[in-house]
């Protein structure tokens, strides 16, 4: 028994074809939107590629760009099919290709749904990428004279100013690395010598942060050196007083920014996916209702359209049987080829 059977007369078929034609061109615009969202996200990720550890984070924008292009192609073709469906002579040319085309549309909708889910689920991967990338970027902050890394100081400073953040997880991350270049250290100074000797790796570590960590909204002048030394500043206690530095780490700030972007894109992609599923269902009804017209020379006759020719369990069973037959056919062909090679070898 057919699933969700609906009766159609000529008037209903014409309205269905015209409505689907219009919806498909709206879907072309939706495909352009998906493509634009993917391109925008890719550009935003490339802006901070210096503080990202790998290229896995580009999976989502690349997928959105690809699905946007495919959406434009498939829906343009579907619009042409719906336009020609009103003419029996033109529809006859499309009829043999409609079932494979609908199967491709179903596969496209499945992939589009998975891409929309990826927009929500790749937060963990992005967090690890940002964490490791920021850690490496901070390590190279002082290498202003090293080719290939001389831009890292500017990149980190602009990042901390733009996103109002400091360090990887917080401002204390700067205490654990030497972010001041040896070029600007006076090695004849006793203080510099003592600090370097006190460190196992011979690094110059200070309880200070770059200027870009300073919060300009603070009423007090920025304290960026000797942050943990209360006696170095008047009326100051670093444990109780609110510091005039950005408290949030840059990993959390960037993760929040990109997560909000991808969540918004995921919602838009899911809405477009629902629209695409509606079009695919409409195309299926149009195809079955036109194929069931008893006499093509009398287009005014009634016909029936359905979503599935059989029930869901029967359709699934038939699908599995066809897959098994296909596997057996390939096995027989392989055995025949082996048998043909045996006499030649003899």
CA distance 59 to 38: 10
Count the Cβ atoms, other than its own, within 10 Å of residue 161.
15
pTM of the model: 0.80
Quote the Cα angle for 274-279-280, to 5°: 95
Which residue, 53, 96, 102, is CA-closest to 77?
Answer: 102
User: What are the extents of the domains in the chain?
Assistant: 3-137+252-310
**Residue 254 tokens, joined:** 């960037």
Please state, in angstroms and rounded to a whole number, the distance separating the CA atoms of residues 204 and 196. 5
Q: How many helices and strands, by DSSP H and E, does the chain display?
A: 8, 2
Encoding tokens for residue 170?
């917080």
- Which residue do the tokens 């080719």 mark? 147
CA distance 98 to 283: 9
Q: Give me the tens of pLDDT residue by residue for the chain, a chain 346 residues long.
A: 566 677 777 788 888 888 989 999 999 999 999 999 999 999 998 888 888 876 667 889 999 999 999 999 999 998 888 888 777 777 778 778 888 888 899 999 999 999 999 999 888 788 888 888 899 889 889 888 778 778 899 999 999 999 999 999 999 999 999 998 888 888 888 888 888 888 767 888 888 999 999 988 888 888 888 888 888 888 877 766 567 888 899 999 999 999 999 999 999 999 999 999 999 988 888 888 877 765 666 666 667 776 666 666 666 566 566 667 666 655 655 555 555 555 555 4
Neighbours of 64 (CB within 10 A): 30
The closest alpha carbon to 103, from 262, 290, 322, 272, belongs to 322
Gap between the Cα atoms of 340 and 301, Å rounded: 55
Give the DSSP letter of residue 305: E
245: helix, coil or strand? Answer: strand
Q: Quick one: which H or E segment has residue 178?
A: none
Q: How far apart are CA 250 and CA 159, in angstroms?
A: 8
CA distance 266 to 223: 42
CA dist list (Å): 302 to 13, 16, 106, 288, 346 = 10, 14, 27, 12, 65
At residue 37, the 3 state secondary structure works out as helix
């Amino acid at each position: 028994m057919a699933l969700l059977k609906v009766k159609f007369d000529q008037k209903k078929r014409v309205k269905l074809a015209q409505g689907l034609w219009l919806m498909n061109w709206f879907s072309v615009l939706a495909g352009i939107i998906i493509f634009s969202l993917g391109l925008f996200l890719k550009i935003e990720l490339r802006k901070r590629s210096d503080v990202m550890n790998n290229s896995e984070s580009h999976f989502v924008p690349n997928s959105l760009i690809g699905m946007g292009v495919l959406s434009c192609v498939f829906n343009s073709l579907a619009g042409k099919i719906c336009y020609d469906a009103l003419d029996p002579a033109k529809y006859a040319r499309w009829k043999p290709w409609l079932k494979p085309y609908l199967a491709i549309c179903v596969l496209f909708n499945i992939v589009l749904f998975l891409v929309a889910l990826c927009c929500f689920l790749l937060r963990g991967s992005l967090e690890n990428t940002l964490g490791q990338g920021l850690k490496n970027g901070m390590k190279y902050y002082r290498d202003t004279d090293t080719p290939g890394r001389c831009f890292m100081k500017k990149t980190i400073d602009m990042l901390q100013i733009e996103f109002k953040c400091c360090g990887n997880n917080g401002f204390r991350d700067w205490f654990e690395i030497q972010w001041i270049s040896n070029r600007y250290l006076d090695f004849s100074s006793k203080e510099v010598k003592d600090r370097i000797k006190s460190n196992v790796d011979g690094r110059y570590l200070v309880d200070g942060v770059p200027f870009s960590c300073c919060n300009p909204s603070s009423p007090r002048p920025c304290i960026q050196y000797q942050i943990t030394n209360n006696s170095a500043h008047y009326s100051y206690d670093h444990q109780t007083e609110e510091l005039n530095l950005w408290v949030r780490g840059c990993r959390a700030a960037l993760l929040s920014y990109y997560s909000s972007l991808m969540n918004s894109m995921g919602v838009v992609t899911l809405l477009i996916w629902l629209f695409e599923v509606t079009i695919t269902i409409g195309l299926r009804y149009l195809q079955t209702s036109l194929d069931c017209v008893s006499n093509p020379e009398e287009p005014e006759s009634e016909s029936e359209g359905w979503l599935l020719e059989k029930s869901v369990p029967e359709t699934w069973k038939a699908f599995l049987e066809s897959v098994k037959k296909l596997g057996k056919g390939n096995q027989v062909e392989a055995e025949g080829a082996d048998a043909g090679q045996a006499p030649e070898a003899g």
